[in-house]
Amino acid sequence: MIVFRKTKNKIIELATNLFQSPQKTQLFGLLGFLFCSCMIIANFVCKLYISAGLLCGLLLCILIILYLDYKGFRRYIRMAYVLSLNFFSILVVTSHGLAAGGYLFFIVLLVALAFLLENVNNYRRQVFRYFAITIVSFLICISYSPTVSKWEYIPPSLYQTLFIVNCATAIILISLFSFFGVTLERKARHALVLEKNRAKSQADRISEQNKHLRNIAFMSAHTVRAPLTNIISITRMLDPKEFSRSRDEKLIQFLKVSANDLDKVIREIVEMTSSVEAEINDSSSNNWII
């Protein structure tokens, strides 16, 4: 009982993380898992046990791939999806026979393969590889699968029902993958626009900070220099050996004025430096939040 609860909690945790994850491969796996589960139930209801067993094998493969994807082993995840789906599709179509219309799911698979493509340098190679495997599997399926099943007994009246159900299911799946594809593309474009705006805002902020830094450098090199030069010159003129009250009072007055000017310039530099530091800290916090 304890082992069952732990397994149940693990499955719930895995499903929750997968539903919250934005990865297209995991969404692809979840849709495949739901479709496979429904098809297993439908085949059991129709007493097509061989087909139901094959679909259980496919469901197990999808669960293993989802688990590996969740654990971070993503190197061969996409190829595993393509191979397992094509392999079991051939087996299920052969089990049902072409009259049941199971070959229509190869069209669904071609539409769904867009979820497995990455935006990397070998994008074209992936397109060719995945689509080639699917098309070859489809050709093998329609070339070697019998018209009616030789693996299990299917009443002739059931074939029309299976064909209609498979057509309807294929249309629904194509609609779902198209909807999710458009939704994910819109989200990606929206995220790209936000990123561009954030980058532009950050570039403008950095430009403004550089402007302040140039002003600080100018004030440090030139504005500070004038009162500092006056102070140095006045201190040199204040010779203790040649004391003159009237002259020294004027020099001390000039010294006070220069000292006040220097203090004022230093305060301005400190304020500008504090402003730049505040902008940098604000920019860092905003980037961290994003």
3-state secondary structure of 12: helix
Token pair 């593309």 in the structure block, residue: 185
Residue that terminates a domain, selected from 184, 205, 240: 184
Does the residue 208 lie in any domain? Answer: no
Confidence of residue 21 (pLDDT cuts 50, 70, 90): very low
Does the residue 209 lie in any domain? Answer: no
| Cβ 70 vs Cβ 85: under 8 Å | no
> Which whole number is the average pLDDT over 92-113?
86
Beta-carbon contacts of 17 under 8 Å, excluding residues fewer than 6 positions away, are: 70
Looking at the structure, tell me whether residues 165 and 236 fall in a common domain.
no
Predicted local confidence at residue 17, as pLDDT: 47
What is the identity of the amino acid at 229? Answer: T
Looking at the structure, tell me whether residues 180 and 234 fall in a common domain.
no
Predicted local confidence at residue 60, as pLDDT: 92
Which has the higher per-residue pLDDT, 55 or 31? 55
Does the residue 198 lie in any domain? Answer: no
Other C-beta atoms closer than 10 Å to the C-beta of 285 total 10
pLDDT for residue 65 is more than 80: yes
Does the CA dihedral 73-75-78-82 come out positive or negative?
negative
> Which whole number is the average pLDDT over 170-192?
79
Question: Where in the sequence is the domain holding 231, given as residue range(s)?
Answer: 224-289
pLDDT tens-digit series, residues 255-264: 777 777 777 7
| Cβ 116 vs Cβ 177: under 8 Å | no
Does the residue 202 lie in any domain? Answer: no
Number of structural domains (the chain) is 2
Looking at the structure, tell me whether residues 108 and 231 fall in a common domain.
no
Helices 77-96, 49-71: axis angle to 10 degrees equals 180
* Separation CA 113–CA 106 (nearest Å): 10
DSSP codes joined into one string, 116-176? G--SSTTHHHHHHHHHHHHHHHHHHHHHHS-SS-SSS---HHHHHHHHHHHHHHHHHHHHH
- From the list 30, 54, 121, 113, the residue with the least C-alpha distance to 79 is 113
3-state helix, strand, coil in the chain (%, to 5): 85, 0, 15
Percentage of the chain modeled with pLDDT above 90: 6
Looking at the structure, tell me whether residues 30 and 144 fall in a common domain.
yes
Looking at the structure, tell me whether residues 52 and 142 fall in a common domain.
yes
Does the residue 86 lie in any domain? Answer: yes
The rounded Cα 24 to chain-centroid distance in angstroms is 9
Give me the chain's average pLDDT, please: 76
pLDDT tens-digit series, residues 216-260: 677 666 666 677 777 777 676 666 556 566 666 676 777 777 777
Looking at the structure, tell me whether residues 245 and 132 fall in a common domain.
no
Does the residue 264 lie in any domain? Answer: yes
Looking at the structure, tell me whether residues 167 and 26 fall in a common domain.
yes
Does the residue 285 lie in any domain? Answer: yes
Predicted local confidence at residue 15, as pLDDT: 46
Radius of gyration of the chain (CA): 37
> Which whole number is the average pLDDT over 151-163?
86
Residue that terminates a domain, selected from 166, 184, 202: 184
pLDDT for residue 188 is more than 80: no
**CA triple 155-160-163, angle to 5 deg:** 115
Residue that terminates a domain, selected from 169, 184, 199: 184
Does the residue 132 lie in any domain? Answer: yes
Tokens of 113: 């393969």
Looking at the structure, tell me whether residues 49 and 174 fall in a common domain.
yes
Predicted local confidence at residue 16, as pLDDT: 47
* Separation CA 55–CA 45 (nearest Å): 14
Tokens of 41: 């139930």
